[in-house]
């Protein structure tokens, strides 16, 4: 498999600048020379602090969201231009918490995807079903619709800068994890959808991360699956002693 494992830490709404600096320094030190692709995504107020620490290392700098417009009268929003200005390389879009707690809909997420790609940012596009959707046998259908709508009018060359993160919403922060088999089945299905929308080569090349209560004791079994190419880690990314073992799982 030519795809590179990609382990990302989404710090969500945690940490002060001093705490973020301490964690970033620990990660830089402990992941030095490690072989996978890495990312940390701090809160907006922490990005500049973390940027200075991870610059020039093997850890990419991410943001957890961005506005759908470049600039203007958008109180409380953060622009792609502002993110690029402080060194952000990647933006997480469509995270389930944005979709379900802040009611972001597919066409809004698609607008953000286009804006990020236009400005050369890598996009981690999150998809995933709620527990009731899974229980109703709708998991594949929900993920497919989020991908089709989220990637609408994204060209094949642009897709090279897109990573998909599958996060079953029922497994986020709940301690429940999809079994490696369940997760791999959805990842395989997502690959099939990408193949239909683009090409078999695009499907083969796209990196699909798993997100949802990833920990050091389940990461190996998840990563051993053919279609799982990395992890989008929430809670366990907040301490080096829980994140580093995931990052260095192999």
Express the helix, strand and coil content of the chain in percent, nearest 5 each: 45, 15, 40
Residues 190 and 164 sit within 8 Å (Cβ to Cβ): yes
Catalytic residue among 36, 95, 97, 122: 95
> What's 6-247's CATH class?
alpha beta
Q: What pLDDT is stored for residue 197 in this prediction?
A: 98
Neighbouring residues of 150: CB distance < 8 A, sequence distance ≥ 6: 93, 94, 106, 109, 110, 113, 125, 127
Residue 71, exposed/middle/buried by CB under 10 A (0-12, 13-18, 19+)? exposed
167 counts as catalytic: yes
Catalytic residue among 122, 129, 167, 187: 167
pTM across the whole model: 0.96
Identify any residues that bridge with 37 across adjacent strands, giving them in sequence order. 6
Q: What pLDDT is stored for residue 170 in this prediction?
A: 84
Q: What pLDDT is stored for residue 239 in this prediction?
A: 98
For the chain, what are the domain ranges? 6-247
Residues 238 and 209 sit within 8 Å (Cβ to Cβ): no
Tokens of 67: 């506005």
Q: What pLDDT is stored for residue 171 in this prediction?
A: 81
In tens digits, the chain (250 residues) has pLDDT values of 579 999 999 999 999 999 999 999 999 999 999 999 999 999 999 999 999 999 999 999 999 999 999 999 999 999 999 999 999 999 999 999 999 999 999 999 999 999 999 999 999 999 999 999 998 999 999 999 999 999 999 999 999 999 999 999 988 767 777 899 999 999 999 999 999 999 999 999 999 999 988 999 999 999 999 999 999 999 999 999 999 999 999 8
Do the bridges between strand 37-41 and strand 59-63 make them parallel or antiparallel, or are there none, so unpaired?
parallel
The H-or-E segment that residue 9 falls in is strand 6-10
């Amino acid at each position: 498999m030519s795809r590179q494992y990609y382990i990302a830490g989404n710090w969500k709404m945690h940490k002060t600048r001093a705490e973020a600096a301490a964690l970033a320094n620990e990660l830089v030190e402990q992941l030095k020379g490690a072989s996978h692709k890495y990312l940390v995504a701090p809160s907006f107020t922490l990005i500049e602090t973390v940027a200075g620490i991870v610059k020039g290392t093997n850890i990419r700098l991410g943001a957890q969201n961005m506005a759908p417009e470049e600039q203007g009268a958008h109180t409380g929003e953060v622009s792609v231009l502002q993110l690029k200005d402080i060194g952000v390389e990647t933006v997480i879009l469509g995270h389930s918490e944005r979709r379900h707690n802040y009611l972001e809909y597919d066409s809004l997420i698609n607008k953000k995807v286009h804006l990020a790609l236009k400005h050369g940012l890598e996009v981690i596009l999150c998809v995933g079903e709620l527990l009731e959707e899974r229980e109703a046998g709708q998991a594949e259908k929900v993920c497919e619709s989020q991908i089709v709508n989220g990637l609408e009018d994204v060209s094949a060359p642009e897709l090279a800068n897109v990573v998909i993160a599958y996060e079953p919403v029922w497994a986020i922060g709940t301690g429940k994890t999809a079994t490696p088999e369940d997760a791999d089945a959805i990842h395989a299905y997502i690959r099939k959808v990408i193949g239909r929308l683009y090409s078999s080569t695009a499907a083969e090349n796209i990196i699909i991360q798993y997100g949802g209560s990833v920990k050091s004791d389940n990461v190996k079994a998840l990563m051993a699956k053919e279609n799982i190419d990395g992890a989008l880690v929430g809670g366990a990314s907040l301490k080096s002693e829980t994140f580093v073992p995931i990052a260095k799982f192999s």
